[in-house]
Amino acid sequence: MSHEPLPVALAIRQTLSGVTFSNPLPFWTEPSAIDFDRRERAIEARIDALLSGEMLAPVFDVAVPRRSGGATKWLVPSINDQIALQVAVAAVVRDLERALDRGRVFSYVPNHAPASVALTREQVESWQQFQDATATRLQSSGYMLQFDLQRAFDSMSTSKVVGFLQARVEASRARDLLMRFIEQFSRHTSGLAHVNDSLFVVGNAYLSEVDRLVAAHSPDFIRFVDDYRLFGRSRVELERALARIARDVEAFGFAVNVSKLKLGSALEYFDAIAKPQYTPAGDVNEYIASRVFTDVLPADFMIALISRVVDNQEQYLNDGFGRLVLGALRKMRIDGALAETMGAYGQLSDFREHLPSNAPVIDRLCAILSNAGRSSGGAWAAVWAAFVLQDAFAAGSRKTPAFQAVEAVVTGVDRPILVRLWAASVTRSAEPKDERKRSGVVDIDQLHREGYLEAGTLSYGSDVHA
């Protein structure tokens, strides 16, 4: 077994600057700085403890709406456990890459840019390459069949994924740590857990097992996560291939999503993308996670995105677009905190100036928080709204109907504690800065050790129970 040093320092930076932006829930406190040396020692000790049999910190789960309907259960481990998970993935990613044919698979490409600590290349860039490859292949083949796998990650058997890792990844502490995470997550959900980009990298590699089944019947294909595009000379050829692929895929434990099957000619495809109403953003796979913006968004564009979500919640308030906006806002806030410490300009200042004056958006956000937060099933949407509302109220806003609606959520004892805590974060944000510092929890190391709900209780529990 390999005893090479684990990439702890890299994983800390990857997690805090990138991977956690793909989480389903924001963290309670976004630090502008941490003690990296102290954290590195803590993570190394945490890894040793996990490999010795210690359990994960409490893992929180939340149901996040899917654009296609229904909801997906996402897990939220502690920040330190997410860093440890990222250590394991970063250490084995080269072995995982060897399982993939990068001439066919365009998703979750490892990042090799020396100036960036990102785990993977930007997914939107990879998606565009997938689109370009589609156009190129269609020019010579003539026909394309598109299908995806139904609930792909939910269908990944824990034992099969662990077996895949044992077969494809060299024995090491990192591999053992990764398998331990996967097995512990299986206590909370079926399939490969939805946590963040780190496990999506693992799932993307595991789908190489399905690639082999597809290649046996239709060798000319490409893939983006679980979206397959097959190319052929005729409709009949592709229909026959699909029948054989569906049979083999089902025997392996997956199912073809028949509701999303598309079969057409090159002419039909190029005609479709040439139409003015065609928008690539609407065609993006749900696993293009929230880290799709390379830079901090302008404040007016951020407000426009939020307005789009609140105006059409059914289409946009989901684990695709909604999670993307949430991650982009988190990035803006961290950038703003850094800018403030340096006395520099940040987009967050403009955002905080203009959002409060947009009364229709504020009212809709308050309605989402109040209405969605009445049940555990609507908790994610309520948290999404509360997170945005943290920048909506100044100290003089306490007597407004909107602010009082948020206060009613904080004191609503019949509401889920997750929602009440996030509503309390909104009322805390309207306090004068000096008062906020006195009442807030400043030990970020402690918060990152705790489970998600436990960290929230440490941060805002006194406000909820007062």
What are the pLDDT tens digits along the chain (466 aa)? 446 789 999 999 999 988 999 999 999 988 777 899 999 999 999 999 999 999 999 999 999 999 888 999 999 999 999 999 999 999 999 999 999 999 999 999 998 876 677 888 888 889 999 999 999 999 999 999 999 999 999 999 999 999 999 999 999 999 999 999 999 999 999 999 999 999 999 999 999 999 999 999 999 999 999 999 999 999 999 999 999 999 999 999 999 998 889 999 988 887 776 654 434 344 444 444 433 445 688 999 999 999 999 999 999 999 989 998 999 999 999 888 888 878 888 899 999 999 999 999 999 999 999 999 998 899 999 999 999 999 999 877 788 999 999 999 999 999 999 999 999 999 998 876 655 555 555 689 999 999 999 999 999 999 997 5
- Statement to judge: residues 218 and 322 lie in one domain: no
Residue 446 lies in a domain: yes
What is the rounded distance in angstroms from the CA atom of residue 408 to the CA atom of residue 404?
Answer: 6
Full-model pTM: 0.92
- Domain residues for 294? 290-465
- Statement to judge: residues 307 and 265 lie in one domain: no
Cβ atoms of residues 96 and 88 within 8 Å? no
DSSP 120: B
- Statement to judge: residues 267 and 308 lie in one domain: no
- Statement to judge: residues 270 and 301 lie in one domain: no
Of 124, 101, 122, which Cα lies nearest the Cα of 112?
122
- 3-class state of residue 110 by DSSP: strand
- Statement to judge: residues 30 and 150 lie in one domain: yes
- Statement to judge: residues 248 and 350 lie in one domain: no
Last residue of a domain, one of 249, 274, 299: 274
Domain count, the chain: 2
- 3-class state of residue 143 by DSSP: strand
Contacts of 65 (CB under 8 A, 6+ apart): 71, 317, 318, 319, 322, 380, 381
- Statement to judge: residues 172 and 202 lie in one domain: yes
Cβ atoms of residues 34 and 334 within 8 Å? no
Cβ atoms of residues 428 and 461 within 8 Å? no
Q: Which two tokens stand for residue 320?
A: 């695709």
> Helices H, strands E: what count in the chain?
21, 6
Last residue of a domain, one of 250, 274, 298: 274
Cα-to-chain-centroid distance, residue 246: 29
What is the rounded distance in angstroms from the CA atom of residue 306 to the CA atom of residue 281?
Answer: 16
What is the rounded distance in angstroms from the CA atom of residue 54 to the CA atom of residue 71?
Answer: 31
